[in-house]
Chain A
Amino acid sequence: MTQSIALFVDAYRLLNARRIFWFTLIITGLVVLCFALVGINDQGIRIVVWDIEIPGVNTRTGWTPEFFYKFIFNNLGIGIWLSWVATILGLVTTSGMFPEFISTGSIDLILSKPIGRFRLFITKYLSGLLFVVLQVCVFCVGSFVVIGLRGGVWLPGIFISIPLVVLFFSYLYAFSVFFGILTRSTIAALLLTILCWFVIFVVQSSENTLLFFVKYQEQKVAAYEENLERSRTQLAGVENPEDRERWDFMYKTIEVREERLEEARDSGSGVRIAHSILSGAMTVLPKTSQTLDLLERWTVDLADLPERDIDESPPVITEDGEFEANEAEIGLAVRDEVNSRSPLWIIGTSLLFELVLCLGAGVIFWRRDY
């Protein structure tokens, strides 16, 4: 225990000695301070003493102060500051931890002490998360107090972002540690980590986009099927439907609809295959965005969402057989599909990936001669 505490204290001293840590912490404080400067009223948003009228964003349209603060906390505080800017600064700060730790003259001394290599690796790994733990704790406590005092809304639910943001950072930190141990280079560790993050981001975004197209194609197929069924019913209801000469235009319409349906099914199956491939890749890769999205899922009750004008008109097949989608409905279907993925699957598979990466790094660390 003494050794583990010493390693954590050492990690704190390392952070303490780095200006970028304090720079990030100060910016975090400023972001929290910003929460004290904004509020919502029946006209719009109030910044310090200035009221800005925003149609649709005021208490009259269902934006409760609680929802407003949750919104800016989740989307600006966590969504932009902690999950992008602070994360990059965190990676810059921590990417050198392992390369420096295993450098000649430094690792010799530590390995000569009565501590197992694996325990040493795990403890050092966890101590590297100290950066983000401190940042997100300061951010959450500050936000909780400021939002409570300024807005009169006490949101204990925001503390769930501490483990979520730490988890999110740990996925990337695992890359940094793996590459740091493999290459012994801080720069290589940082650049390769950012590259992997970018790849994950691209895969996640592509998967989301393809999911939209899958739902689009499903809606299209369903619309053509429904339209075709309606045409067939109409044809069945007419007098003497076998009279092809008389009802030729209806037969032709059905024929065109059948062709369109077949085309929609074909292209739909192509999109589905592409989506399945990306979905499979996503299953393996750490789910950075989806982990942070859990914050919104857990802290925002959908019933509290402000009312929005949603186009409830059904998708249409025009006279000339063209499909006009209801994109709002597709968006909701995509959201439902994304929300149907269980937190256990999102976090579990991501942690599994992190574990595999850590095991790889741990084995290299354990086997290497220094």
Chain B
Amino acid sequence: MANGSIIDITDAYKAFGRNIHALRGVDLQVDAGEVFGLLGPNGAGKSTLVKILMTVVRPDRLGGTMLGRSPGDKRALAKVGYLPEHHNFPSYLTGRQVIEFVAAMTGMRRQPRRRSADRLLKRVGMWDWADKRVKSYSKGMLQRIGLAQALVNTPELVLLDEPTDGVDPVGRQEIRDLLLGLRDEGMTVFINSHLLSELEMVCDRVAIMVKGRVAMQGTIDDLTADSRHYELRIHGSAPDWIDSLPDVSMQSDEHGTLLRINGREPDGIQTLIDRLRAEDRTILEIRPVRDSLEALFMRAVTEGGEGFAGPGAVVGDEGGRP
């Protein structure tokens, strides 16, 4: 296990049949106590990877550890919570029964699992609906019960596949707060999601998968470091001497001129500001800019997956599984 890594897997490989290569040697590290996001286009192999970690899919090759043990080790799984993407809780159970059943399947005894279920039902805001059958629940309510069952055994690691799927904006905010709360409690949260803006708000680190491989992995700050620059908007047209400055480009419109200054350090723009002010130019706006997670994602998909044709499975050596 790498220092402080909850998940440290190497060379994860999985093929379905001869032609569909879902994972093609994935290396991934998730550190203890962080919120980790796994991104990727459809068919990138994200769900396959999560399912391999949860022993739902059997890998062709897999090295490394999860919670200090071989991936799939039952003792490690006892410390993991999991919310599958398309979960399908038995319609004949109540929300409370779903949580208690999952708790029992992790080996918890009756009294602790009852206490844990009660606590989580309150925490996810489902206390009033606890004894109603899940077939009467809305998608958002099912998602809340899904989160509660994933946390019932007080796991060290919780894997959430599309946790905000079908949840309204208020619910999403609550789930984000819950995830950050879990991190504050020392839990490691692994999220697989398509909602990049959601992930950007909660994730400490992300990995972007493309065509069965990890194309990028790190903190969002690190991954977007190269794209950092400043934008400075001035009134009117730009002075002629701007053209001679390296790392500065400009664009004019009816609101004035937008100058883009490459470089992540603020020192670099101080001289420019001084010269503009010396000419009595009006500076309308100065702001640091970096790529959004979405831009990073698009870059990873287009650069990391040469010839990526769009959503869906890419078959053969070139791609992953639907």
Q: Which residues of A contact B (CB under 8 A)?
A: 2-3, 5-6, 9-10, 13-14, 16-18, 100, 103-116, 367, 369-370
Write out, one digit per residue, whether chain B residues 62-80 have a CB within 8 A of any chain A CB (1) or not (0).
0000000000001101101
In the complex, are the beta carbons of B92 and A2 less than 8 A apart? no
Contact status B92-A110, CB under 8 Å: no
| CB-CB nearest in chain B for A6 | B104
Chain A residues with CB under 8 Å of B55's CB are 111-112
Question: Which of A10, A103, A113, A115 has most chain B Cβ within 10 Å?
Answer: A113
Given A10-B90, A13-B92, A13-B93, decide whether A111 and B54 contact each other with a Cβ distance below 8 A: yes
Can you list 14 A-B pairs, Cβ within 8 angstroms, ordered by A?
Answer: A2-B104, A3-B105, A3-B107, A6-B105, A10-B93, A10-B101, A16-B92, A105-B86, A106-B88, A108-B51, A111-B55, A112-B56, A114-B75, A369-B56
Q: Are B57 and A369 in contact (CB under 8 A)?
A: yes
Whether A6 lies near B74 (C-beta < 8 A) is no
- Please classify the interface of chain A as helix (H, G, I), strand (E, B), loop, or mixed, using the class held by over half of its residues: helix
In the complex formed, the residue of B with least CB distance to A5 is B104
Is the beta-carbon distance between B84 and A105 smaller than 8 angstroms? yes
State which of A16, A106, A111, A113 has its C-beta within 8 Å of the C-beta of B106: A113
B interface residue count range (under 10 / 10 to 19 / 20 to 34 / 35 or more) = 20 to 34
Q: B residues engaging A (CB < 8 A)? A: 16, 51, 54-58, 74-75, 77-78, 80, 82, 84-93, 97, 101-102, 104-109, 149
Instruction: Give CA–CA (A109, B106) in the complex, Å.
Output: 11
Output the nearest chain B residue to A109 by Cβ-Cβ distance.
B84
Report whether A114 and B54 are in contact in the complex, using a CB–CB cutoff of 8 Å. no
Query: With A2-B109, A16-B92, A114-B78 in contact, is A370–B101 under 8 Å at CB?
Result: no
Name the residue on B nearest A13 (C-beta). Answer: B92
Please name 16 further chain A to chain B contacts, defined as beta carbons within 8 Å, in addition to the given A109-B84, A115-B105, sorted by A numbering.
A3-B105, A5-B104, A6-B105, A16-B92, A17-B91, A17-B92, A18-B92, A104-B88, A105-B86, A108-B84, A108-B87, A109-B102, A112-B80, A112-B84, A114-B75, A115-B74
The reply to whether A2 and B82 form a contact with Cβ atoms under 8 Å apart is no
In the complex, the number of residue pairs spanning A and B with C-beta atoms less than 8 Å apart equals: 85
Residues of B within 8 A of A370 (CB): 51, 56-57
Distance of A237 from chain B, by nearest CB (Å) = 85
Task: Contact check, A112 vs B77: say whether CB atoms are below 8 A apart.
Answer: yes
Docked CA distance A369–B54 (Å)? 11
Residues of chain A within 8 A of B86, CB atoms compared: 104-105
Q: Is the CB of B87 within 8 A of A113?
A: no
Distance in angstroms from B50 CB to nearest chain A CB is: 9
Give chain B nearest CB distance to A97 CB in angstroms: 11
Q: Which residues of B contact A113 (CB under 8 A)?
A: 77-78, 102, 105-106
Rounded to whole Å, the gap between the CB of B32 and the closest CB of chain A is 20
A107, B105: Cα distance in complex, Å: 12
